[in-house]
Every structure is written in C-alpha cells, then in structure tokens.
Structure 1
Amino acid sequence: MRGRGTARDGLTGVALLGVLLAAAGNAAATGRAGGAVPYRTAPGAQEVRGSASSAGGPLLKPGAHVYTDSVKPGERKYYTVELDARSSAYVSAVAVPRPGSTMGARDGIDVALETADGTRCGVGRHRTFLSAGGAYPVADYAERVVAAGGACKAAGTYRFAVQRGEAAGGDGAAVPVELAYAAEAPEPAGAEAAPPGPSGGWSSRPPSRPAGPAEPVTGGSGFNDAAMIRPGGWKDELRPGETRFYRVAVEAGQQLFASARFGAEQAAAAGPFVTNGIRLGMNNAARGYVTNRIAGYQGRTATVSLATPPAASGAGGEAGRGMRRPGWYYLQVSLNSKVGREGSGGVPVTLTVDVAAAQQAGRGERGAARRTETAGSHPDERLRAIGYAGVGTGSLLLAGLGGWALAARREDG
C-alpha cells in the first residue's frame, strides 16, 4: 500500500464515525422546519473554558473528541495539546455566528499553535466573517507538520490559541466555537512516496451538467452532519442566512470541481441586489481552509464555481496546503440573510460536483478528464480512514484555479 499518496494514514478515532453521523443527521432533519437552521455541534461534544493566560488552558485530546467554547470580541483563549515527536497535528476551530447576524468589518478568528515559550508552529491563520459574504461559519486549523527543517519538532506540551477580532459595527455577543485536534500517524519505514502530480498548471474547466435531472439532497447544518454526495447534480433549498454542508471523497491525484446555481430557471429579479449574496466554500477533512467563492444575487439565476489543485500533489498556496491529503472534502453553500426576509421561503440551489483525474492545462482541455465515480459514491476503507470521528463525518486534510471565475466573484483572504 502506498504511503503519502493514499488515505491509509488516517487520523485516529474512525470507529465512531458512522454513529456520530447518523445521530447528527437525524437531529438536523428534525430541526429544519422553521427558518435558517443553525450550526449543530458534534453529538457528545465536551464543553470547556479556554484560559485567558498562556500558562494554562484545558487539555484537548486527539481522535474521537470534540470540544465547545465561546469567544467574545477581542478575547484570546488558550488550550493545551500534547504532541509527540513523530506525528503531525492539526488543531481546528470553527466559529459560528448566529444565522442572519451582522458582524463587524474586522471581526473573525485567528488560530495559532505555539510552543510553551511562545514560538509559533508554522503560520497563524486568520478568517473573517464578512470576507465570506455574511455571518457564516468559518473554520481553519493551526498545524505542526513533521518534516525536515520544520518547526516544533520536539515532543511536549503545546498551546493552541483562538482570538476573536473587533465587533465594532456588528454583533458583540460571544460566538460559539467548536474545537478538535487531529493527530496524523507518521509514515512507516519503507513507505512508498506518492506518484508526482502533473507539473505546471492544472485544468480549471468547469464541471459539465449531468445528463439526467439533479437528485434531491438535504445538506447538513455543519461538518458533523454533512450530507455525503458523489459526482453529479444535486438539488437543495436554502433559507436566507443559512449554510448547508456536503462532503465529497477525493483520491490522490484527483481534482474537485463544483458549482452552485442559485434560483429557479427563468426566475425574475426580486428584492435588492446583495453584493455578497451567495457563497460556495470548501474545507478539508481536518477543517482546514481551502477556498471561498462569492457572488452577487438579486433573485435571478446566479452561479458560483470552484476548482482545486490535485489532492496530495504537493501544490503550493493555501489551496495546495488544504489539498495535502486525499479523503473527505467539505463544500459549504450559503445564502446571505439580506437576500430575503427570514421566513419568506427558500431559494432553490443546484449543486454540480465532478471529481476527475488531474490533467495539465492545455493538454487535457480538449478531452474531458476522466470522472472517477467510485471516489464519490463508494469511498473505500482507505478513504474512510482519513476522517477523525470526533468531527462527526470523517474529517482530515486543503492559489485557486479560477480561470473561469465570474467577474463578481472574489476569494476569501
């Protein structure tokens, strides 16, 4: 079995995956009768209280453990993790504003992993609420990747810090956060390296519409109950202020292409134009950021699309970082609360997804890249192993290839 190119080097705690997913899915379906459904934390998540001092903080354990806390504007909280000298570590935070709330222009979260003396392990990550087009859930991780010359290689006690931005001009209430720690086992001695991906640029063709009608699906409220989908067309309905989550399996060397079309065909404009009205975002299985795409919306049919580098190809940039491993990837489809009055009805959305073997731009464009149905419809044991059950749906590891980006689209920073 291959080393870096396969999903066999999964994260701990996979055994609870199915149980957590089923429980979360049932809860989400029950609560979708009213307005926008809020983010649902993992079943059995443990409530903790981060420390205001860098000298302390509750211990976060890897594997089948998820934790919840809250953070006020300008507040910085610390948590403790124990790292060995061999495993890579990914400690994530998901910040969840109330659906429909207004957030300050500088509001968001910063995450960082540090040694006991304050040395930062890699680059800290910053995610703002408004940069995604509205008060949507935002997530990312801080990481310690074991590599030659890498930082924080020693075993010991480390601290994970979460800091919230300023709420000026927005909601000053504390925002719930969901925390998880994924530990990735080191490569065994003699493991084969992954085959190299194609050199140069990759195809950024948009996914073609499936021949048949889109299948109905109900997206999850978050990472913990995300609906599993395969390549093809899917139809859902979102209310203003709502975000739906879907998960797609991607093998090493494959690219993921996705587009979300909002509004019914032949629909007339209704209501004011909302600059950041619709969104299609993506995170990896450890909740690391990959990309966000947004566009304006006024009721007419509008589409946002994205394409990724091949998984496990060693590509640079944020998207390449996020696509480091094969496994589950999480699509988020969001509708801005300003699009319509809460309770005024839903907006139909058609989600088109394609997973295909990577091809170099200019060579594979004339022939459709090979679609790999098995990656999305029947993930095998290697793909299941990549998730960590504490996140609920099997979650691991993700600039953009926006050659076909719409003029109204911009990417989250």
Structure 2
Amino acid sequence: MLVAAAAKTEATGESTAPVTSYRMAPDAQELNGSETTADAPLLKPGAHTYKDRVEPGQRKHYAVQLDAESSAYVSAVAVPRPGDSMGARDGISVSLEAMDGTQCGVGRHRTFLSAGGAYPVADYAERVAGAGGACKAAGTYRFVVERGDASGGDPTAVPVELKYVSVPANSASASDPAGDRTALAAPGPGGGGVGVQGGGVQGGSGFNDAAEIRPGVWKDQLWPGETHFYRVPVGAGEQLAADARFGSAPDAAGPPYVITGVRMGLSNAARGYVMNKTGGYQGKPATLSLTTPAAAGDSGGAGGDAARGMRLAGWYYLQVSLNPKVGQGNPGRVPVTLTVDVGKARKEARQPGGSTRPTAAVAVRHRDGRLRAVGYAGVTTGSLLLLGLGGWTLAARRGGE
C-alpha cells in the first residue's frame, strides 16, 4: 500500500511524495501486550507473527515458553510512519526476563534515528543455549517491549511486529522470519567465483516482503523518506560485504545538505541488529559500505553488536533509506546501486605468543574479472575493528584461480 509521507509541507517545505510503508505479515495475529506482569499474551515460536501498538513511555509484556536446550530470539520491529519526526529519546527497548524479574542477558535499545525522519527499527532479546548465566531452565519467561520518550516528536502509538525464533543448540541456522521457508540450514554458496547476478530490483517494504538478492550489482530507486529491504543468504563461515551508492537527485542543486541523508542497515535471520551506517547527502552521489564478521562464528563474546548479530546463518536483511529532508525542493526519486559480495571467511590468525584473533576476508569476483578483498579483524580483547581494505584489488585471470 502506498501512503503519503507524513512530512509537513507548510512548515518544512518537504515534498509529500508517495512512499512505501512497512507491510506487516499478512497473517500476523493482533494482540494486546499486558502493561503489568500478569496476563501477558503468549508468543509461540516458528512461523507465527504478531502485531501490537505501543504508546510513548509504555511497557508491554508478552509470555514465551523456553525449553532448556534451544536458543531463543524474541524480536520486535517498531514502525513509525515514513517521514515522521520522532523525539530525540524515542525508540524501543527489548528484554527477556524470568518471572521473578531476573533479566536474561543484556537488554537492547534502538532509537528511531529521527534526525529528520524515522525509520523502522528492530532488535531481539535472546537466551543463548549453553552460554551460562540466568534463564537456563525450561519454563515461562516474559518478553518486554518499552517505548521511549516522545517529547519533541510524534506522540501517537507506533505499530510493532513481534516474532519468536527458536534455534536448536546444535544448529547455527534460524528459521526464515519471512515464513516462506521452514529453515535455512545453508542458504547456498554466495560469492567466491560463483556467477555474478544482478539487475533491476524493487526493494520490499520490510522483513516480510524483502526482495531476494544474490551477490552482484542491483539497481533500485527511493523516494525521500522511504526504506527498502533486501534479503541476502549468508551461510555459516561466510562474510557479507555491501556498498550502497546513492546517485544524483533529479535536481542536484535543489536539496539542502542533510547530515544523515542516507542510511544502510543490516539485520540478521532472527531480526537482530547487526550494524547501521549513515552519511551526508546533498543531491550528489554518496556511498555507504559495510563488511561483517563471519556468520555463525564463535566470537567468544568479543566484537559487540556486529559479532553478536552474525551469530546465525540464514537470510540477512539489508535496509537502505533516504532521509525525507532530501525531498525539500526535490520531489523525485533517487537512484541507488547495491553491490553485494558474499564469500568464505578466513580462519582465526595465530598471533605472537600463541594467542589468536578472529580474522575474516572476502574475495569475490566482479564482472570485470577483478577480485575485491575486504576484511574484518580483531585487534584488542573484547573488540573488533573493521579494516579499510575496500581499496585493495587483486588482478585475477578469468576462469578462477
């Protein structure tokens, strides 16, 4: 469904171009989370998807039943209206708790990235099998979603989409959140000499209708205020690298400079946050790049959000957004070119003294026969650093070496 962007033309001069709103799963069950710890509605794992709404400052509870062997990932996707201006402290927090209030692991908070326009945001709370800590026993637990302070922004209720993914302890793969495949034990080979695919693509509005893409070069267009979703299969031990090149606006001299004018985000197979990149835009070409650690690797707790988010193999969801402020004096769409690489990552590198650090690299053949090398490496205990290797290219003969 196409809706008008919620920009206030008289106040800001922004265009009201038609942008695609996030589409909830067509079979999502509507429910009402409890504002107390009692009578919380039950979320079931698997293909079930649920939807609710959350007011500013509201805290909603949902029940989930965990066994003692599987990892559990319970996610929430909060969906402001495209182009809405949200409060600086607004967003959602998610956590998983035992019935006595003990928190299972670390809670997560995601803001609406509202410097000029809000985007859909998603993350999960998890209980990882075999990880130790609280909540190891089978039983009933609570998934909690809390909305932030909307002061200075839109105070209306925000729709949320909820999903519970359960992964066996001996598996690194999650069920496909879109529900159209029962499992993704191995999405199949990605880059590394596999024939490059590409062409025109219409990105989806969210996780449920994300456009499937493979390694290659893909072209799309975005209205100001719009976010498009694409899903990419990433197998265990593989690494994803992506560039999003935003082309010139229809009237390159018209738009103002917008600090967070362009964005590229990444979520994993259970809708967990991996990373988010933003950059300035003033109607002239701009590029955002990201490179991940290896999927389903053992980071040993190091690496922060990126390593945590790459814990699973399966579909990974790229999100590309254009700030609605780009539409000031420019009602047209902006072309976007996505270059996607997927390839096997290197194993851990042995360091002096016998220690190791996680290292990974992708070398993927492009149409012109070159190999692009990109890397992600750990440099200190408990942290990982994205290495700027995007400029390295290695000459390679056609036919694969």
Aligned-pair Cα RMSD in Å: 3.2
**Aligned equivalent of 1:125, options 108, 117, 120:** 108
Counterpart position of 2:271: 287
223-232 or 248-257: bigger deviation:
248-257
Q: Is the aligned partner of 1:63 residue 2:50?
A: no
Code of the aligned partner of 1:242: E
Per-residue Cα deviation, 1:90-128 (whole angstroms, up to 9, x for no partner): 000000000010010000000000000000000000000
| Match for residue 358 of structure 1 among 340, 345, 357 | 345
Range that drifts further, 179-188 or 114-123: 179-188
The 3 A distance-change label for structure 1 pair 165 and 400 is farther
Q: Deviations over 1:26-73 (max 9, x none)?
A: x78xxxxx7110000001100000001012311000111000000011
Matches of 2:251 and 2:87, distance apart in 1: 33
Q: What is the rounded CA distance, in whole Å, between the counterparts of 1:213 and 1:65 in structure 2?
A: 32
In structure 1, the residue matched to 2:286 is 302
2:208 counterpart SS class:
helix
Deviations 1:382-411 (A, max 9, x none): xxxxxxxxxxxxxxxxx56263699xxxxx
Q: Larger % of helix: which?
A: 1
* Whole-angstrom CA distance in 2 between matches of 1:355 and 1:296: 27
State the alpha-carbon separation in 1 of the partners of residues 281 and 385 from structure 2: 22
Counterpart amino acid of residue 215 in structure 1: G
SS at match of 2:20: coil
Change (3 A) 1:212 1:57: closer
CA distance, structure 1, for counterparts of residue 290 and residue 317 of structure 2: 13
SS class of match (2:18): coil
Pick closer, same or farther for the CA change 1:214–1:182 going to 2, 3 Å: closer
Partner of 1:230: 214
Mean Cα displacement is larger for which, 312-321 or 285-294?
Answer: 312-321
Unaligned runs of 5+ in 2: 3-16, 173-190, 351-358, 368-383, 392-401
- Residue pairs, 1:202-217, within 5 angstroms: 215-217=199-201
Question: Which residue pairs with 1:203 in the alignment?
Answer: none
Query: Following the alignment from structure 1 to structure 2, what is the Cα–Cα distance between the partners of residues 330 and 282?
Result: 6
* CA distance 1:75–1:178, shift in 2 (3 Å): same
Task: Work out the CA distance in 2 between the residues paired with 1:404 and 1:130.
Answer: 28
Per-residue Cα deviation, 1:267-324 (whole angstroms, up to 9, x for no partner): 8443110000000000001000000000000100001110000112212221111111
The equivalent of 1:332 in structure 2 is: 319
Q: What is the aligned length?
A: 330
Whether the 8 Å CA contact 2:87–2:114 is kept in 1: the answer is: no
2:344–2:362: 8 Å Cα contact kept in structure 1? no
The answer as to 2:63 corresponding to 1:80 is yes
Aligned to 2:153: 170
Which residue pairs with 2:307 in the alignment? 320
1:348 aligns with 2:332: no
Shift of 1:264: 3.7
With 55-64 and 143-152 compared, the bigger mean Cα shift is at 143-152
Per the alignment, do residues 252 and 171 of structure 1 end up closer, same or farther by CA in structure 2, a change over 3 Å counting? Answer: same
Aligned residue number for residue 101 of structure 1: 84
Equivalent residue in structure 2 for 1:250, among 234, 237, 247: 234
Q: Determine the C-alpha separation between the residues in 2 that align with 1:323 and 1:368.
A: 15
Q: Per-residue deviation at 1:131? A: 6.6
Q: Does 1:143 align with 2:126?
A: yes
Shift of 1:186: 2.8
Residue in 2 aligned with 1:386? none
Segments of 4+ moved more than 6 angstroms: 360-363
* Contact kept in structure 2, 1:275 and 1:297, CA below 8 Å: yes
Aligned to 1:369: 363
5+ residue gaps, structure 1: 1-26, 29-33, 192-206, 374-398, 407-413
Q: 1:148 and 1:404, CA in 2 relative to 1: closer, same or farther beyond 3 A?
A: closer
CA deviations 1:212-255 (Å, max 9, x no partner) are 99610000000000000010100000001100000001112111
2:95 to 96, 105, 112: 112
The letter of the residue matching 1:153 is K
Bigger relative contact order (CA 8 A; separation at least 6): 1
Higher percent of residues as strand: 2
Counterpart amino acid of residue 130 in structure 2: A
Indicate conservation of the 8 Å contact 1:69/1:178, yes or no. Answer: yes
- How high is the sequence identity, in percent, across the aligned residues? 63
Aligned to 1:401: 386
Q: How far apart in 2 are the matches of 1:77 and 1:260?
A: 36
**How far apart, in 2, do the equivalents of 1:263 and 1:324 lie?**
33
Distance 2:114 2:130 in 1: 32
